[in-house]
Amino acid sequence: MIKLICDLVFMVGGFIFAPSLLVSIKHNVKMPAKTTLPTALVLTAFVACYALLGLYLAAFATSLTAACWYILYFRRLK
């Protein structure tokens, strides 16, 4: 039961963070590479940990958030 609650909490967090980053993506905000890349990499590590722990909803939601950070990073390089 605790595992399910944690999975849901992390999933909701991921689904809140990803759409809020979409605003920055849509408006072509250039965020610093020193912020975007480390955040994307740490979130990718979180995805792996969530999946290994069986928190698949959290892994999915966090992967969306990580993808947004990668987009912001690669846009910064252009």
Alpha carbon distance 56, 6 (integer Å): 11
The verdict on pTM exceeding 0.85 is yes
Q: Is the distance from CB of 46 to CB of 24 less than 8 angstroms?
A: no
Two tokens at 56? 């698949």
Amino acid at 27: H
Going residue by residue through the chain, which has 78 residues, state the pLDDT in tens, using 9 for 90 and above.
889 999 999 999 989 988 899 999 999 888 888 999 999 999 999 999 999 999 999 999 999 999 999 999 998 876
